Structures are given as C-alpha cells and as structure tokens.
Amino acid sequence: MTQDELKAAVAQAAIEYVLAEVPQGALIGVGTGSTANYFIDALAAHKDRYRGAVASSEATRQRLEQHGIAVFDLNEVSELPVYVDGADEIDAGLHMIKGGGGALTREKIVAAVARTFVCIADASKQVEVMGRFPLPVEVIPMAREYVARELSQLGGKPVLRAGFITDNGNQILDVHGLQITAPKALEERINQIVGVVTNGLFALRPADVLLLGTPQGVQRFPG
C-alpha cells in the first residue's frame, strides 16, 4: 500500500469512530494536513448528521466550507466531543510532534478544548523516541533570534522556515537534532522561553486514541 492509501484508510477508520462515538448534531474538531484532508473529504458524506466543524487552520476551514460543512469559531463553542488530526511523529505514550503544516498553535488550542483527541497517522509516523522530525516552534517575529539562541542552548539546531507565515502572523523555527526522551518536560521548558507562542510537542495533552494505518490494516491504540 502507498502512504496515501494508508492515510485514506485511517481517515475512513476515523469516520467510523466518529459515527459510533459522537452524537448526532455535535461539532467535530478537524485538524490540518494531508491525512486530515482525507478525513474532511470522507466527512462530507455525513455532513447532515453533524452541526458542523471547528477548524484548526485557514486551509482546513476552506476545505470544510468547499464541502458545504459549516465552520464555527471556537469562541462560540463550549463543548467539542472529538478532535481528529494527524501527526508528524507519535510515540508509545501517544505524545506527538505536530506542526509540519505550520498549524500547531490552533491545533493545540482545539485539542485543549476537545474531550477526545483521535490521532490518525500512517505507520511511518510511529517512533520510539521523537526528534528525528524537526520540532516546530511558533515565535513572535521580533523574538526570533533570541528564541533561536535559547533553543540552541537546549541542544537543538533551530532553522527558520523560510517564506512561511502562520495563520497567526508569526514565524516558525524548526528545531533539528533533538532526542526527545522527556517530552512533557521539554514542552514545558520551551513554552517558558519569552517570545514562543507554542511548540509542536503535544505531550501535556497527548492523543487519547491512535488510529495507525499499516499494510496489515488499521490498528487502534490503546487496543
């Protein structure tokens, strides 16, 4: 199976999860990226069953609206039963690196509100120790060089994502060369650097469910 076929399979498994677990008329939190796009396209067939969606990025908002799915501002929402999103890396504790698509801050906000975070990922995203995928850190532009120096002190090699501005008007430093053996502590430590908006570690709020696309079929964690 190709990676795209694995992504489509986990997206379909997430639809089945949502149909089974999320009551009719609820809102669905929707992530960003190519795997999330498969989920959005599959969700379109069930759009009349749900009130609408909360989007984690402008790109996702546009794709949902193109399918005729109503998109709600998170500030109008007090309850979000589920958030479905991809990941760049995920470990056995369901801690993740996210932000390859640059939407990490809004993704983390929507994930914070959601009762259940369902991560959809192909098998290439599963790792023992995170850090081979460079850790995205969203920074206020005027703080960029200061934050980069602080990240270097933590042992990483920050590289500015050239020509990229987030939906929030900020920049991203991709931090190479980290071996993330204590993801919660590192997430907290990076958050404390002044000028950091968010970092792409999702360890303090990990996924609750992982649907992993493998050539042998979709596996669910915890089992």
Q: Which chain residues interact with ligand 5RP by CB under 6 A?
A: 31-35, 85-88, 98-104, 107
Q: Do residues 64 and 11 make contact, with C-beta atoms less than 8 angstroms apart?
A: no
Contact 3, 27 (CB under 8 A): no
In the complex with ligand 5RP, the residue whose CB is nearer, 49 or 191, is 191
Judged by CB, which is closer to ligand 5RP: 107, or 150? 107
DSSP 111-178: HHHEEEEEEEEEGGGB-SSB-SSPEEEEE-GGGHHHHHHHHHHTT-EEEE-TT---TTS-EEEEEES-
Tell me which of 21, 79, 107, 150 is the catalytic residue. Answer: 107
CA distances from 193 to 103, 111, 159, 174, 200 (A): 20, 22, 17, 15, 14
> Are the CB atoms for 117 and 85 separated by under 8 Å?
yes
> Is the Cβ of residue 23 or residue 169 nearer to ligand 5RP in the bound state?
169
Nearer to ligand 5RP, 31 or 156 (CB): 31
107 part of the active site: yes
* Secondary structure class of 55 (helix, strand, coil): strand
In whole angstroms, the minimum distance from the beta carbon of 33 to ligand 5RP comes to: 3
Separation CA 195–CA 145 (nearest Å): 10
CB of 40 to ligand 5RP, least distance (A): 12
The least CB distance from residue 120 to ligand 5RP, in Å, is 8
Active site (catalytic) residues: 107
